[in-house]
A and B are shown apart, each in its own frame.
Chain A
Amino acid sequence: MIFNWVWLIPALPLFGFLFNAFLGKRVGKTVVGWLASLVVLSGFALSVSVLAALLKLPESERQRIVGLFPGGVVIPWIHIGNFRVNYAALVDPLSLLMCLIVTGVGGLIHVYATGYMAEDQDYARFFTYFNLFIFFMLTLVLAENMLLLFVGWEGVGLCSYLLISFWYEDKNNALAGNKAFIVNRIGDVGFALGMMLIFATFGTLSFYGTAAHPGFLQMAARHISAHGPLLISTATVIGLLLFIGACGKSAQFPLYVWLPDAMAGPTPVSALIHAATMVTAGVVMVSRCSPLITDSATVMIVIASVGCFTAFLAASIGLVQNDIKKVLAYSTVSQLGYMFLGCGVGAFSAGMFHVTTHAFFKGLLFLGAGSVIHALGGEQDMRRMGGLKNRIPITHWTMAAAWFAIAGFPLFSGFWSKDEILGAAYVSPDAGKVLWFVGVVTALMTAFYMSRLMWKTFYTNQRFNEAELGAHGGHGGHGHPGVHESPPSMTVPLIILAALSVCGGFIGSPFMGDAFQRYLAPAVRNTTAMPEGITGTVLVLMVISSLVAVAGILWAMSLYGKRRETGDLIPAAAKAKMGPASPYRFLLNLWYWDALCNKVAIGYGGVLGNSLKWFDTYIVDGVVNTLAWIVGSLASGFRRTQTGFVRNYALTMLIGVVAVVVGMLWGSFHFMFK
C-alpha cells in the first residue's frame, strides 16, 4: 500500500539533514549538494505516486490517516489523560498538493543552490539547513493534528532564522534573522492560544478522526448541521487567534515586517521562503481549518480585509524599491494578501490555486534575480543594472515568463489564479465589490512594478562599470570576471519553472473544467466560488483583469521606454527636494510602519527592560540589602555590649538577678493582694 510509504516523504529530507549535519564537512561538496537535492526530489516522485493512488479512490474516501514511522506505524508523542497527540499524517488532496509544491519547487531550488552556493565555505551547513527546512515544511503540511502542524510551523521559523542569518559575519543578517524569528513568534502566540482553545472546546487537536473519535473539524461541522451556528463566539475567537498566527507566518499586516528583511539570506533561501515553503503555511493552515473558520463571518471578513489591505500596501511599497530582491519581497507580501483575500471571501480553492501558481512564478523570479545577482558579482541595486537582456538571455527569457505570469497577463498561470480570487471576491456577499476593486487596483500596480523591475534590469541602458564587477566580492560574488550566464544547474530549474509559470494555470482554468478546484474540493470548505463555466460575469471580469494587466505593462513600457538612459522616472534632484510626507518618500520608507515598529519594539522595549532591571537591582534587591544592613547595624550596636570584661558581665548579671527577684516579688504581691 503506497500510503504506508508516506512517512518517507518527510523522513528523506530528515535523513539528508542528519547526514549533512554530521558528515557534510567530510564527504565533499558534490555529495552534499546531490544528496540534499536527491532526497527532496525523490520525495517529489513519491508524492506523485501517492497522488496517483489517491486519485483512484472515490472522492469521499480521499482522506487517509497514516503513521509517520516506517510502515505507517502511529507512534504517540504526548499522551496525558485525554490530551493525545500522535505522529501521524493526514493524506488528502490539500496535503498532497502542498507536498508536490514543497518537494517539486523546493527540489528545483536545491538543484539551483548547488550551483549558486558552489563556492561558499559553509556549503554543507547551507544544505543541512535547507533539508531541515523541507522536513519541517512537509511536517507542517502533512500533520494530522494542530500540534504536529505547530511543529512544522515553528520549525520553518527556526530554519528561516538559521538561513537568513546564514552569512552571520554581517551583523545585519544576524539581526534580520532575529527579527524573522521573533516576529514569527508573536504570531505563534496567537496560534498556540487558538490551539489551546480548540482543545478546551473539542477535547482533541486532531483535524479528522474515526466515527468514535472524531477530529475537531468534523465535530464543528457536525455541530453546525445539528444545532446551527451555536458556537459562533468560540469559532470567532479560535479563528482570530489562528489568523494572528497566519499573519506572522504568511507576512500579513501588521506582522509582515520580517519578510522583506528576510532577503538578507542567500537568494535560494529567499526563493524557498517566499515561494515553496514557509509563507504559504498560513494559507494552508487557514484552508485546513476552513470547516471551522467559515462558521464565523467575523473571522472571514477580517481575513479578507487584512489580505486585501496587505496586498495593496505591499504593492504600493513595491513601486519604489530599488533593491531587486526587495521589490520581489514586497511583491510576495502583496501576493500573499491576494491568497488571504481568496480565503476570506470563502474561496479557499482559489487561494490555494494562487499558492500553487505563485510557487512557480515567484520561485522563478527569485531564482532569476539570483542569476542576475550572480552575473553581476553580487550587485542587487537595480540603479546599477540595465542592459542585461542580451547578456544573460536564459535568465531574461525565463524571468519574462514569470513577469507575465505575476502581472496576470492573459493565459499565463498567474492570470487564472488571480482572476479566480478576484471573481470570488466580486460575487461574495459583504463588501465583495470593494474588495474586488482594491484587488484590481493592486493588480494594476503589480503589473506596473514588475514591468519597472524588468525595464530597470534588462531593457534600459547599462549603468554599471563592468570592470568593477565582483570587486566588492559581495555574497553572490564568485570570482568570475564580467557579466556571465549562470551554469546549467541554475538555468535548468529556471527553464522548468518558466514552463510551469506559462502553462501551470491551465489546470485551474475553465478550459480544463476547473480541474484544480474540483480536486481540492473534498479537503476544504468553500463557501463562495466563481460560477462554473464561462458565463457572462466571468467573461466580463476576465476581460477587466486582462485589460488591467496589459495596461500596467504598457504604462510602464511607455514611461521607462522614454528614459532608457537613467532608468529612473523621478530625477535625483527632484527626489532630494521631497519631504518625508511626499508620496514617494512615504512609499520608499514603507509607510513608516517599519520605523514605528522598530521604535516601539527596540526603543520602548529597551526603556522598559532597563527600568525593570533598575527596579530589580534597587527595589527588589535593594529591600533585601537594606534589611541586611539594618540587621547588621543593630548587631554591631549590640556587639558593643560584649566587651569581654568580667566585671561588666557580672554587673549585667546582677541587674538581671535583681530584675528577676523584683519580678517574683511583684508577682507574689500581686497574687496575695488580689
Chain B
Amino acid sequence: MPEIIRDHLLTCLVFLPLIGAVVLMFMPKPAESPADGHGTHQDSSSPADPRAQAIRWMALLFSLLTFALSLILLFRFHSAKSSYQFVDGPYNWIKQFHVHYYLGIDGISLLLILLTTFLSVLCIGYSFSVKQRVKEFMIFMLVLETGMLGVFCALDLVLFYVFWESMLIPMYFLIGIWGHERRIYAAIKFFIFTFIGSVLMLVAIVALYVKTGSFNLVTLLTPGTQPHHLLSLISPHVLMWMFAAFALAFMIKVPMFPFHTWLPDAHVEAPTAGSVILAGVLLKMGIYGFLRFCLPLFPAQAHQAAPLFLTLAVIGIVYGAIVAAMQPDMKKVVAYSSVSHLGFVMLGIFSLNPLGITGAVLQSINHGVSTGALFFIVGMFYDRKHTRLISAYGGVKRAVPILAAFFLIAMLSSIALPLTNGFVGEFTILQGSFISHTAGWKYTAVATTGMILSAVYMLWMFQRVMYGPLDKEDNRSLPDLVWREKLVLAPLVVLIFWFGCYVTTWTKPLIPTVDSLVSNVGPASIAERRASAASILEGTAGKFAIIPLTRGKLGGK
C-alpha cells in the first residue's frame, strides 16, 4: 500500500465516496424518462440506458472500494488497545480558533464505520431499480456516505459538527426528490427536527471552547493537560446545560420518545435506500454522540440524568412497540419498531456498565442489519405492487416463497430470537441493565416486556402479509426475488447469524474501548463488579445476601 494512503487511511476512507461523487458529476447524464420522479417505479422504465447503467456501476464501484478500505481498517485494528487508532492529524484548519482537522477511531467507531460502508454498498446495489434522476441519486448517496463516515471519525468538535450537518443535506434531497407521496412534508420535518438539535449542540460546542479554549476531544479528555483536567474548570451547573444541549441533539437523532415523530414520516416517505441508511446509520449517529461526547465529557451529569433517560428509553420500548402493532402500513410498523429497538440501545447506554454499553453498540449494529433487511423487504414488496399497506397482501407466501423466507429470518432477528443477532444485543443490554446501579431490575423488568410486544407486532404483520388464503387475484402473479435482490439480502442474513452465533469477532475490538469509557463514568454496583472481576468466584458464597435485589423490596432476609 502506498505510504500516503497508509498514513492517511481514514482521510482516504472518508473522502473516497466524495471523489466518487465528483467522478459521477462528470459522467454524461442519462436520458430522463418522462415521468416526473415519483418514487422508484419499475414499470416506467425503458430498456436499460447504457449511460444510466454506467453511472450505477461506477457508484457501486466506489462504494465497494470504500467498503474494502474499511475492511483494511478492521484487519489492521489493534483489538487490545483502547486509545484512538489510525490517527490522522491534528492539522490546523482554522488557526485563529484552534479548529483542527483531526481523525481517529476506536472500537465503537470501527464497527459503525463497517456498518456504514457495508450498508452503502447494499443500498447502492439495491438502488439499481431507481429510474428517475439516476445520476443525482447516486451522487447524493455517495456524498451522504462521506458525511456519515466523517461523523464517526472526527475527533475535533467543529469538524464533527460540520460532518454532522453535511449529511443532512443529501438526506434531505433523497427524501424530498425520490420519496413517496408526502415526501416534502417528511423531508422538511426531518430537517427541522435534526437542525434544532444540532444548533443547540453548536451552542454547547462554542461554549465549551469559550470555557476551555479547545475543540479537540482528545485534549479535553486528557487528565494531565495544563493546568489540570480542562473540564474541571467549568462549574457543574454550566456543564449540566452543556450536557443537556448535546443530549437533546442526540436524543432527537436516536430518536427517543417523545422526539420520535419525525422518524415514521421520514422512514415511510424516503425511498428504500434512504430508509435503510436512515435506520441503519443516521439513527446510530445519535447513539454514537452519546458514547463519544455525552458520557466521556460529562460523566457526572450523565449519572445524574440517567433516571430520566432510562425512563424515556423504557417508555420508548413499550410505546414504540404498541404503536407499531396498530399501523396499517408495513413501513410504519418497521419505523415504529425502530423506536422500540433504539429504546433498548439507550437502556444499555445509561446502564453505564460495560455489559450494557457493549450490548448497546452491538444492538446498534444489529438494528442496522435487521431493520435494514426489513426495509429492503418492504421496498421489494413496494416495487412489485406499489403499495405498502398490509391489507393489500395476504397469503403471498405461496407466490413469493423466497422473499417469505428472507422476511421470516429478518423478522426473527428483529424479535431477538436466540442465535440471531438481535438476541445477543438485546440480552446483553438487559443483563447489563439488570445488574446496573443506575437501571436495576425495575427498568429491566419493564423493558423485557418488549420481548413480548415485538413478537406481537412482527408476527401479526407477518401473518397478515404472508399467511391466510391467497385471495387477491393480482397477488397470485407476484414475481419472486431476482438475483440482484437476493444478493442484497443474503449478506444481511449472513451477518444476522454471524452476530448471533459467534459474536466474539465483533466484541473483541469493542471491549477495551467500552471498558475505558466506563472506567471514567462512575462507580459500579456489587453485581457489576462481580460481572467484570475475573476472580470473584471463590468466596462468593457468603455474599449472596447482599446483592442489591435482596436488599431491595423483593428480599427480606
Task: List residues of A whose CB falls within 8 A of some B CB.
Answer: 75-83, 147, 150-151, 153-155, 158, 161, 165, 168-171, 173-175, 177-178, 181-182, 185-186, 188-189, 192-193, 196-197, 199-204, 212-214, 219, 222-223, 226-227, 230-234, 237, 605-606, 608-610, 612-613, 616, 620-621, 624, 628
Instruction: Select which of A79, A170, A213, A606 is within 8 A of B507 by beta carbon.
Output: A79
In the complex, A173 Cα to B419 Cα: how many Å?
A: 26
Residues of A within 8 A of B417 (CB): 154-155, 158
Q: What 1/0 mask marks residues of chain B from 499 to 518 whose CB sits below 8 Å from any chain A CB?
A: 00111100100010001000
Q: Does B17 contact A (CB under 8 A)?
A: no
B35 at the interface (CB under 8 A from A): no
**Quick check: is B530 within 8 A (CB to CB) of the other chain?**
yes
B522 at the interface (CB under 8 A from A): no
Would B557 and A232 count as touching, CB distance under 8 A? yes
A121 to B435, CA, bound (A): 50
- Cα of A154 to Cα of B419 in the assembled complex, Å: 10
Secondary structure at the A interface, as helix, strand, loop or mixed, is helix
Chain A: which residue is nearest B356 at the CB level?
A80
Annotate B249-268 by CB proximity to A: 1 below 8 A, 0 otherwise.
Answer: 00000000010111000000
Tell me the bound Cα distance from A230 to B326 in angstroms: 47
Q: Which of B441, B463, B507, B540 contacts A203 (CB 8 A)?
A: B540
Report B's interface with A, CB cutoff 8 A: 189, 192-193, 258, 260-262, 319, 322-323, 325-327, 354-355, 358-359, 395, 397-398, 412, 417-419, 423-424, 427-428, 430-431, 434-435, 441, 444-445, 448-449, 451-452, 455-456, 459-460, 463, 466-470, 501-504, 507, 511, 515, 527, 530-534, 536-538, 540-542, 544-545, 547, 549-550, 554-557
* Interfacial chain A residues near B430, Cβ < 8 Å: 192, 196
B451 touches A168 (CB 8 A): no
How many Å lie between the Cα of A628 and that of B470 in the bound state?
44
A226 to B469, CA, bound (A): 63
- Our pick among B424, B441, B507, B541 for the contact of A227 (Cβ within 8 Å) is B541
Assess the A203–B530 pair: CB atoms within 8 A. Answer: yes
9 contacts between A and B (CB under 8 A): A80-B355, A80-B428, A81-B531, A168-B397, A173-B467, A200-B530, A234-B555, A237-B549, A621-B261
Q: Please name all residues of chain B whose beta carbon is closer than 8 Å to the beta carbon of A77 when the two chains form the complex.
A: 501-504
Number of A-B contacts (CB under 8 A): 199
Whether A233 touches B554, Cβ cut-off 8 Å, given contacts A174-B463, A201-B547, is yes
- A192 and B412 alpha carbons, distance in the complex (Å): 17
> Nearest-CB distance from B375 to chain A (Å)?
20
Known interface pairs A83-B531, A165-B467, A234-B550; A613-B323 also in contact (CB < 8 Å): yes
A200-B434 Cα distance, complex, nearest whole Å: 8
* Chain B residues positioned under 8 Å from A82 (CB to CB): 530-534, 536
Cβ-defined contact, B397 with A80, below 8 A: no
Nearest residue (CB) in B for A238 is: B549
Residues of A within 8 Å of B444, CB to CB, are: 193, 196
Q: Are B469 and A169 in contact (CB under 8 A)?
A: yes
CB distance from B480 to the nearest CB of A (A): 13
- Bound CA–CA A181/B462 (angstroms): 13
Q: Contacts A175-B463, A192-B448: A83 and B355 contacting too (C-beta < 8 A)?
A: yes
State the Cβ distance, A342 to closest chain B Cβ, in Å: 28
Q: Is A171 touching B467 in the complex (CB atoms < 8 A)?
A: yes
Known A-B contacts A188-B451, A232-B557; A78 and B261 likewise in contact (beta carbons under 8 Å): no
Residues in A whose Cβ lies below 8 Å from that of B398 = 169
Chain A residues whose C-beta falls within 8 Å of the C-beta of B260 in the assembled complex: 620
**Known interface pairs A80-B428, A168-B397; A233-B556 also in contact (CB < 8 Å):** yes
In Å, the complex CA distance between A346 and B122 comes to: 57
Q: Which of B319, B322, B531, B545 contacts A231 (CB 8 A)?
A: B545
B424 CB contacts on chain A under 8 angstroms = 78
Contact A192 B451 (CB under 8 A): yes
Q: Are B322 and A612 within 8 A (Cβ)?
A: yes
> Considering the chains assembled together, what is the distance between the CA atoms of A613 and B448 in angstroms?
21
- Do A226 and B541 have beta carbons less than 8 Å apart? yes
| Complex: A500 Cα to B427 Cα, angstroms | 42
Residues on the A chain within 8 Å of B545, using CB:
230-231, 234
- Which residue on chain B has the smallest CB distance to residue A613? B326
- Choose among A154, A175, A200, A616 the residue that contacts B323 (Cβ–Cβ < 8 A): A616
Least CB distance, A546 to chain B, in whole angstroms: 45
CB distance from B10 to the nearest CB of A (A): 27
**Chain B contacts of A196 at CB under 8 A?**
430-431, 434-435, 441, 444
The residue of chain A having its C-beta at the shortest distance from the C-beta of B408 within the complex is A162
In the complex formed, the residue of A with least CB distance to B511 is A80
Chain B residue nearest to A225 (CB atoms) is B541
* Docked pose: A587 CA to B358 CA in angstroms: 52
B261 touches A200 (CB 8 A): no
Residues from chain A with a CB closer than 8 A to the CB of B397 are 168
B418 near A151 with CB under 8 A, answer yes
Residues of the B chain whose Cβ atoms lie less than 8 Å from the Cβ of A169: 395, 398, 467-470
Provide the bound-state CA to CA distance between A151 and B547, in Å.
Answer: 27
